[in-house]
């Protein structure tokens, strides 16, 4: 195997990336690197659908459970840690990077832009999002209203005279630092909606609400992080409102569908991705890996 090659497995939330990644990693000897912002946090297990401890014990998994939920993670934090892992294994190991956080994946490929660092605090998330919609509507195609970090970052750049979507698009036109095989799970809307519904019910049955309460108790300052993560955000709202008419399952499903739509929009712009349906993905991705990584021309 060409140890200098890396594969990316992407797709919307609930598309089955984690289970497929484990199958491919076991078959081809990959180590798995997480590229899902939510799965970076310790103790957030049920609501992030991260791989089980049993699955992670089968082969090396990196950048899961590496920061406490009362600490914010920036794209730069992630990129620094991920690059260290990839560089340490260069020439010796092969990696399968798995996730749906587009900016995390982009940070692995392209050097940081020469733009000011910083964020801008805001008190009204809805108003902040509307301001960005007015000044940079293209950005809002892939910006979730609950992604407070990216909202604060966008507000800061707008205040400095930058248009965030243009700057981040410019980043993607730079020469990539890594040679990557892109693979994506292409799942139809109806099937994805059904999976989201089933997964939400499963999370609530497993005790998502209890997990949220436990995290808030153990990490009192975790509220800011949890408010940015689907599932935990809605659980906190249910706890605060104490309104019996608040449909927790529905609200989580709605937010997840919206997030999945944004993920699909983000990845649709990448013409390098080999898209396959979940039904054929294992077989066809195996062929891509054989051709591009195991026996490259």
Q: Which residues of the chain have pLDDT under 50?
A: 1-3
pLDDT of residue 3: 46
Q: pLDDT tens across 143-154, in order?
A: 878 777 788 888
DSSP string for residues in 123-185 = S-HHHHHHHHHHH-TTGGGS--TT-HHHHHHHHHHHHTT--HHHHHHHHHTSPPSS-EEEEEE
pLDDT of residue 114: 67
N-terminal to C-terminal alpha carbon distance within the chain: 12
Domain boundaries, the chain: 6-111+174-294, 115-173
What would be the CATH architecture of the domain defined by 6-111+174-294? 3-Layer(aba) Sandwich (3.40)
Overall pTM surpassing 0.85 (yes/no): no
**CB-facing half-sphere around the CA of 186: CA atoms within 13 A:** 11
Class of domain 115-173: mainly alpha
Fold match between 6-111+174-294 and 115-173? no
For the chain, where are the E strands, in sequence order?
Answer: 6-10, 31-34, 61-62, 95-98, 180-185, 274-276
Structure token pair of residue 5: 């090659």
């Amino acid at each position: 195997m060409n140890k200098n090659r890396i594969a990316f497995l992407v797709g919307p939330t609930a598309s089955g990336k984690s289970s497929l990644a484990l199958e491919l990693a076991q078959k081809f000897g990959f180590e798995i690197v997480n590229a899902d912002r939510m799965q970076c946090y310790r103790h957030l297990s049920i609501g992030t659908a991260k791989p089980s401890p049993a699955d992670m014990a089968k082969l090396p998994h990196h950048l899961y459970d590496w920061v406490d939920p009362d600490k914010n993670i920036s794209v730069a934090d992630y990129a620094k840690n991920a690059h260290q892992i990839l560089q340490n294994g260069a020439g010796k190991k092969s990696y399968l990077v798995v996730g749906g956080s587009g900016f995390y994946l982009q940070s692995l490929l392209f050097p940081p832009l020469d733009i000011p660092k910083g964020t801008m605090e805001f008190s009204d998330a809805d108003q902040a999002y509307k301001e960005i919609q007015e000044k940079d509507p293209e950005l809002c195609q892939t910006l979730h209203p609950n992604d407070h970090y990216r909202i604060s970052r966008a507000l800061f750049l707008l205040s400095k005279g930058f248009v965030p979507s243009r700057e981040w698009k410019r980043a993607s036109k730079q020469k990539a630092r890594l040679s990557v095989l892109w693979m994506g799970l292409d799942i139809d809307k109806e099937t994805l909606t059904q999976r989201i519904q089933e997964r939400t019910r499963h999370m609530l049955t497993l005790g998502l609400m209890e997990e949220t309460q436990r995290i808030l108790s153990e990490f009192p300052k975790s509220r800011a992080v949890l408010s940015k993560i689907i599932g935990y955000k809605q659980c906190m709202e249910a706890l605060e409102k104490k309104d019996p008419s608040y449909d927790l399952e529905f609200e989580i499903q709605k937010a997840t569908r919206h997030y999945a739509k944004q993920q699909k929009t983000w990845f649709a712009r990448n013409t390098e991705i080999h898209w396959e349906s979940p039904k054929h993905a294992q077989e066809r991705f195996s062929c891509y890996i054989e051709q591009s990584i195991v026996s490259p021309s």
